């Protein structure tokens, strides 16, 4: 078969969307599967058809092999793409698919199994002459034997649970005296975490880099590598930023790693996309670490420097086609970086965060910027799944240019409603040490202080900008569209011939700032806790261009109710407008259309001629930081509004005329003058 007609994607989020996009470009129909929590998810919307698997928890949905196979049969699917995570390296799943006549878009089952065990993988790599870290990974688990092997390596050594992975079940032993205790503890942990206490021991490399090779093999014995990636910048074994090519590696070593990786893959008759991970030491030596038998999260950086679509390669190879390129055809150009945008709280040790994406603006995509995401504005980031919001990938001719692209793209990535790691990523991408590639697996730890200290900000400045925004937003709302230049549109009460400094109370990080805004002929005088700013500002939708005491700011703003968020450079400043809103009802003014107190008209909610229901807001008066909404005491028609926004009104002054609806003539008419 040259190509499938229909595939099922047994995954969700960005990778499911990404696979669907390529499949559609190839004219392949897509079936999505989803949980109850993902009914409205982007991957369901993008697919041609979708099948509900079950409740939100993965074990009841995305990990339900039986349900996925049922969905495949129901929809006449020919092949299943597992994405990454979930069932992507589950041999039982691959076997069940085969048993049901479905093609698994991935490696042979044997490859999944042999790479699943660290010691089995090492034995295979050893036979394929792939360099291993000096150490012992044999069957004999006698502690004294392993201890003797450790002594042969020379301390420090690393004890690793054979069934471990991703950093779990590892223990560094700095000197022989500590060996016994460490061995016993690591064994216990292996037994409890992986139901397998078998250990291997290796020479511990103190400043390694994580360099990996993308390999592809087809069913016709062809194998190529598509360059390398550096994924050393990790936090608790979670990759944070990945790049291709891996910087500062001599060409001969790069080639040797690539060829060793292909050799290893062909040693196990690999088919499909695979990644061979190496530890790259400071002296230029490299050692096999692990092999991943799936498409990696970070595959886009390889796509951008090779200009190849790796999902297309996967589909072609699974359908029996030959590799699209020979090794000689693989040309690498430029440099690519990827960051993973996560819903997590940097102030809470990067705990996963949940929340709704109330405001979501992504950088403009181009040949330099790519956003792989599974969410849209308004989506909920739940606790059920990995809290990845998106992958942000950039490319340019060299690393410095690509890094600048990344910094700008991070600034243009704006999210409100859920905490994210965007600020941390911006710090990382902007750090001198990352720019100069002083990178190894200990990077984040080594630069912890620089990466995690909050940048000092001039709070008053951002409070002033927030007040400027609120003022301009209110003006925009209050302006009488039929006569925008009318003096009534000024916020201050020009009628009484004195200027009125509009009061705000803005709260940031538990500090309440007293602010006044005084509109003058050509600017605003904004006073923040006694500090004065001369401010000019123009507001276009969510873009505020303001000059504070001659200093120009281009700021993006998002307001949700009384929460205002400013985005400036890679900073996100949030403040809360303190408004005690009391309806007329709260102050015993029920049913009155009179001003409940001396104050300023801040908004006309229903213009003359509007039909209103009982209880609808008609006009808002503000004084002493309190807003009061005057509501219709009965259904009727607003026959006249006596005032405009910005006017001063005295206590008890009649604010508007409201005519009851004809049939309501009998109901209580407003109080007589
Ligand atoms: C190592 C090592 C140093 N020396 N092996 C971490 C998880 C798994 N990928 C293997 N890991 C390591 N193995 C020896 N002999 C350091 C690590 C390591 C690491 C490796 C790659 C990327 C990030 C890492 C973070 C901590 C430790």
The model's pLDDT over 365-423, given as tens digits with 9 standing for 90+, comes to: 999 999 999 999 999 999 999 999 999 999 999 999 999 999 999 999 999 999 999 99
The pairing of strands 617-623 and 599-604 is antiparallel
Task: Read off the pLDDT of residues 473-514 as tens digits, 9 standing for 90 and up.
Answer: 988 876 555 665 655 455 443 333 346 688 889 999 989 999
* Domain-terminating residue out of 513, 542, 577: 577
Q: How far apart are CA 574 and CA 555, in angstroms?
A: 13
Domain that holds residue 194: 135-203
Classify residue 1: in a domain, yes or no. no
CATH number at residue 76: 3.40.50.20
Which of 158, 169, 235, 239 to mutate to test ligand 1, by most ligand atoms within 8 A of the CB atom? 158
**Structural domains counted in the chain:** 6
Tokens of 453: 């200290």
Q: Which long-range contacts does 22-27 make (Cβ < 8 Å, 24+ apart)?
A: 22/309, 22/311, 22/312, 22/315, 23/81, 23/311, 23/315, 25/309, 25/312, 26/312, 26/315, 27/3
More confident residue, 662 or 649: 649
**Nearest-CA residue for atom 25 of ligand 1:** 441
Q: Report which ligand 1 atom has the smallest distance to the Cα of 277.
A: 9
Mean pLDDT, residues 638-665 taken together: 82
Per-residue confidence at 560, pLDDT binned at 50, 70, 90?
very high
The atom of ligand 1 lying closest to the CA of 157 is 15
Q: For residue 634, report the phi and psi dihedrals to the nearest 5 degrees.
A: -160, 165
| Percentage above 70 pLDDT, the chain | 92
Task: Assess whether pLDDT exceeds 50 at residue 580.
Answer: no
Same domain, 188 and 246: no
* Residue with token string 């010691």: 119
Report pLDDT for 163.
87
Residues 617, 553 share a domain:
no
Say how many Å lie between the CA of residue 203 and the centre of ligand 1: 11
User: What's the pLDDT at 485?
Assistant: 60
Tell me the C-alpha distance between 337 and 59, whole Å: 33
Domain identity same for 287 and 249: yes
Q: pLDDT tens-digit profile of 509-523?
A: 989 999 999 989 899
Q: How far is the centre of ligand 1, averaged over its atoms, from the C-alpha of 136 (Å)?
A: 16
Mutate to test the pocket of ligand 1, among 237, 238, 242, 275 (most ligand atoms within 8 A of CB): 237
Phi, psi of 294 (to 5 degrees): -155, 175
Instruction: State the pLDDT at residue 474.
Output: 86
Q: Calculate how far, in angstroms, residue 167's C-alpha sits from the geometric centre of ligand 1.
A: 7
Do 497 and 422 share a structural domain? no
Partners of 203 in the β-ladder: 157
282-317 residues labelled b (16+ CB within 10 A) or e (exposed): eeeebbbbbbbbbbbbbbbbbbbbbebbbbbbbbbb
Give the pLDDT band (50/70/90) at residue 673. Answer: very low
How far is 279 from 125, CA to CA, in rounded Å? 14
Q: Which two tokens stand for residue 580?
A: 């005690």
Task: Please report, for the domain that includes residue 463, its CATH number.
Answer: 3.30.700.30
If you average pLDDT over every residue of the chain, what do you get?
91
Chain segment 15-37, per-residue pLDDT in tens: 999 999 999 999 999 999 999 99
pLDDT at 478: 66
DSSP secondary structure letters along 97-125: HHHTT-EESS--HHHHHHHHSHHHHHHHH
Give me the pLDDT at residue 588, please.
Answer: 44
Read off the pLDDT of each residue in 289-312 and give the average, rounded to a whole number: 97
pLDDT score of 495? 31
Given 396, 431, 454, the domain boundary residue is: 454
The reply to whether 73 and 59 lie within a common domain is: yes
Give the residue whose CA is nearest to atom 9 of ligand 1.
Answer: 166
Residue with tokens 């223990």: 171
Closest residue (by CA) to atom 11 of ligand 1? 167
- 409 with 425, same domain: the answer is yes
**Residue of minimum CA distance from atom 21 in ligand 1:** 210
Tell me if 538 is assigned to some domain.
yes
291 CA to middle of ligand 1, Å? 13
- Are 155 and 234 members of one domain? no
Q: Which pLDDT score, from 0 to 100, does residue 582 have?
A: 40
Q: Does residue 671 lie within any of the structural domains?
A: no
- CA dist 25 and 3 (Å) reads 13
- Residue 470 and residue 562 in one domain: yes
Closest ligand 1 atom, CA of 202? 15
- The confidence score (pLDDT) of residue 1 equals 65
Banded model confidence at residue 621, pLDDT cuts 50, 70, 90: confident
CA of 181 to the centre of ligand 1 (A): 21
- Is the pLDDT at 321 greater than 70? The verdict is yes
Q: Whose CA is nearest to atom 15 of ligand 1?
A: 204
**Residue 235, domain member (yes or no):** yes
Looking at residue 493, its pLDDT comes to 39
Q: Is residue 385 part of a domain?
A: yes
The residue whose C-alpha atom lies closest to atom 7 belonging to ligand 1 is: 167
> Residue 155 sits in a domain of what CATH number?
3.30.1490.20
What does the pLDDT average to over 424-436?
A: 96
Burial code (b: 16+ CB inside 10 Å, e: under 16) for 117-135 equals bbbebbbbbeebebbbbeb
CA-nearest residue for atom 10, ligand 1, is: 167
What is d(CA 169, CA 479) in angstroms, rounded to the nearest whole number? 65
107-128 residue pLDDT tens: 999 999 999 888 889 999 999 9
pLDDT reading at 584 higher than 50: no
Nearest Cα residue to 167 out of 22, 292, 289, 76: 289
d(C-alpha 446, C-alpha 487), whole Å: 60
Last residue of a domain, one of 301, 333, 365: 333
Question: Active site includes 294?
Answer: yes
Q: 619 lies in a domain?
A: yes
Q: Which atom of ligand 1 is least distant from the CA of 166? A: 7
469 shares its domain with 438? no
**Any domain includes 673:** no
- Indicate the Cα dihedral angle 350, 351, 354, 358, nearest 10°: -20
Spacing, Cα 160 to ligand 1 middle (Å): 10
Structural domain contains residue 672: no
Are 342 and 438 in a shared domain?
Answer: yes
Query: Which CATH number characterizes residue 625's domain?
Result: 2.40.50.100
Q: 20 and 46 in contact (C-beta within 8 Å)?
A: yes
- Angstrom distance (rounded) from CA 461 to CA 551: 10
**d(C-alpha 10, C-alpha 355), whole Å:** 25
CA angle 214, 220, 223 (to 5 degrees): 20
Kindly report the backbone phi and psi dihedral angles of residue 336, in degrees, each rounded to the nearest multiple of 5, phi listed first: -135, 145
* Nearest residue by C-alpha to atom 18 in ligand 1: 441
**Rounded to an integer, what distance in angstroms lies between the CA atom of residue 467 and that of residue 551?**
16
Nearest CA owner, ligand 1 atom 5? 204
C-alpha 516 chain-centroid distance: 37
CA distance 371 to 394: 9
Whole-angstrom distance, CA of residue 570 vs CA of residue 636: 50
Distance CA 63, CA 11 (A): 9
Total Cβ atoms within 10 A of residue 348:
10
Q: Please check the confidence at residue 626 and state whether its pLDDT lies above 90.
A: no
Ligand 1 atom index nearest CA of 231: 22
Dist CA 466 CA 508 (whole Å): 11
User: Tokens standing for 180?
Assistant: 């016994």
Q: What is the mean pLDDT of residues 155-180?
A: 91
Ligand 1 centroid to Cα of residue 277, in Å, is 10
Distance 142 CA to ligand 1 centre (A): 24
The atom number, within ligand 1, closest to the CA of 232 reads 22
271's tokens: 């088919």
Strands 79-81 and 103-104, how do they pair?
parallel
Q: Sorting pLDDT into bands at 50, 70 and 90, what band is 302?
A: very high
Question: Looking at residue 296, which CATH number applies to its domain?
Answer: 3.30.470.20
Residues 121 and 213 in one domain: yes
DSSP states of 585-619 as a string? GGGT-TT--B-SSSEEEEEESS-TT-EE-TT-EEE
Question: What CA–CA distances, in Å, run from 547 to 450, 503, 520, 533, 551?
Answer: 30, 20, 15, 9, 5
**Annotated catalytic residue: which of 64, 294, 414, 577?**
294
Q: Which residues line ligand 1 (CB under 6 A)?
A: 133, 158, 166-167, 202-205, 208, 210, 232, 234, 237, 279, 289-290, 441
3-state secondary structure of 641: strand
Same domain assignment for residues 171 and 230: no
User: Ligand 1 center to residue 188 CA distance, Å?
Assistant: 20
What phi, psi does 637 have (nearest 5°)? -120, 130
Q: Using one digit for the tens of pLDDT, what is the confidence trace for 68-103?
A: 999 999 999 999 999 999 999 999 999 999 999 999
């Amino acid at each position: 078969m040259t190509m499938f007609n229909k595939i099922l994607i047994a995954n969700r989020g960005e990778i499911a969307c990404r696979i669907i996009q390529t499949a559609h470009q190839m004219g392949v129909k897509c079936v999505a599967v989803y949980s109850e929590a993902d009914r409205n998810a982007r991957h369901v919307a993008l697919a041609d058809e979708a099948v509900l698997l079950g409740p939100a928890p993965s074990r009841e949905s995305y990990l339900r092999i039986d349900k996925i196979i049922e969905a495949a049969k129901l929809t006449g699917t020919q092949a299943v793409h597992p994405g990454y995570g979930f069932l992507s390296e589950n041999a039982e799943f691959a076997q069940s698919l085969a048993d049901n006549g479905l093609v698994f878009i991935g490696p042979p089952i044997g490859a999944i199994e042999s790479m699943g065990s660290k010691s089995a993988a090492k034995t295979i790599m050893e036979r394929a002459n792939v360099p291993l870290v000096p150490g012992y990974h044999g069957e004999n688990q006698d502690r004294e034997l392993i201890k003797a092997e450790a002594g042969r390596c020379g301390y420090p050594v690393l004890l690793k649970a054979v069934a471990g992975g991703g950093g779990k079940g590892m223990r560094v032993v700095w000197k022989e005296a500590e060996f016994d205790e460490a061995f016993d503890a690591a064994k216990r942990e292996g037994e409890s975490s992986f139901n397998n206490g078998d250990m291997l021991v290796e020479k511990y490399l103190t400043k390694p880099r994580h360099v990996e090779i993308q390999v592809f093999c087809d069913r016709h014995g062809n194998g190529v590598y598509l360059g390398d990636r550096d994924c050393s910048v990790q936090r608790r074994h979670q990759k944070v930023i990945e790049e291709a090519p891996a910087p500062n590696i001599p060409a001969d070593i790069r080639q040797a790693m690539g060829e060793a990786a292909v050799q290893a893959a062909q040693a196990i008759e690999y088919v499909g996309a695979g990644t061979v991970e190496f530890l790259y030491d400071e002296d230029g030596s490299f050692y096999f670490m692990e092999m991943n038998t799936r498409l990696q999260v970070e595959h886009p950086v390889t796509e951008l420097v090779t200009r190849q679509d790796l999902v297309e390669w996967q589909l072609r190879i699974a359908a029996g086609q030959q590799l699209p390129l020979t090794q000689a055809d693989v040309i690498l150009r430029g440099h690519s970086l990827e960051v993973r945008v996560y819903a997590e709280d940097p102030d809470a040790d990067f705990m996963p965060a949940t929340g709704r994406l109330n405001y979501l603006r992504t950088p403009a995509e181009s040949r330099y910027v790519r956003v792989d995401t599974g969410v849209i504005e308004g989506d909920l980031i739940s606790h059920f799944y990995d809290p990845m919001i998106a992958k942000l990938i950039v490319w340019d001719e060299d690393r410095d240019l690509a890094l600048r692209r990344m910094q700008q793209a991070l600034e243009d990535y704006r999210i409100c409603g859920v905490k994210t790691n965007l600020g941390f990523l911006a710090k990382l991408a902007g750090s001198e040490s990352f720019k100069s590639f002083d990178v190894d697996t200990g990077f984040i730890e080594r630069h912890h202080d620089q990466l995690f200290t909050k940048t000092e900000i001039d709070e008053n400045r951002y409070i002033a900008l927030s007040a400027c925004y609120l003022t301009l937003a209110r003006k925009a709302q209050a302006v009488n569209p039929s006569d925008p230049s009318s003096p009534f549109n000024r916020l201050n009460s020009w009628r009484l011939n004195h200027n009125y400094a509009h009061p705000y109370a803005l709260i940031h990080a538990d500090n309440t700032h007293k602010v006044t805004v005084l509109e003058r002929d050509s600017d605003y005088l904004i006073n923040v806790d006694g500090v004065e700013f001369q401010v000019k500002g123009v507001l276009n939708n969510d873009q505020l261009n303001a000059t504070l005491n001659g200093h120009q700011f281009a700021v993006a703003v998002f307001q949700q109710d009384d929460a205002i968020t400013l985005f400036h450079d890679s900073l996100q400043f949030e403040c809360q407008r303190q408004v005690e809103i009391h309806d007329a009802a709260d102050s015993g003014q029920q049913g009155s259309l009179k001003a409940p107190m001396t104050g300023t008209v801040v908004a006309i909610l229903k213009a003359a001629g509007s039909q209103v229901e009982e209880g609808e807001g008609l006009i808002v008066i503000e004084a002493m930081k309190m807003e009061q909404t005057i509501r219709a005491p009965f259904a009727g028609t607003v026959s006249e509004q006596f005032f405009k926004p910005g006017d001063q009104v005295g206590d008890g002054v009649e604010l508007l005329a409201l005519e009851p609806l004809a049939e309501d003539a009998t109901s209580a008419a407003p109080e007589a003058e």
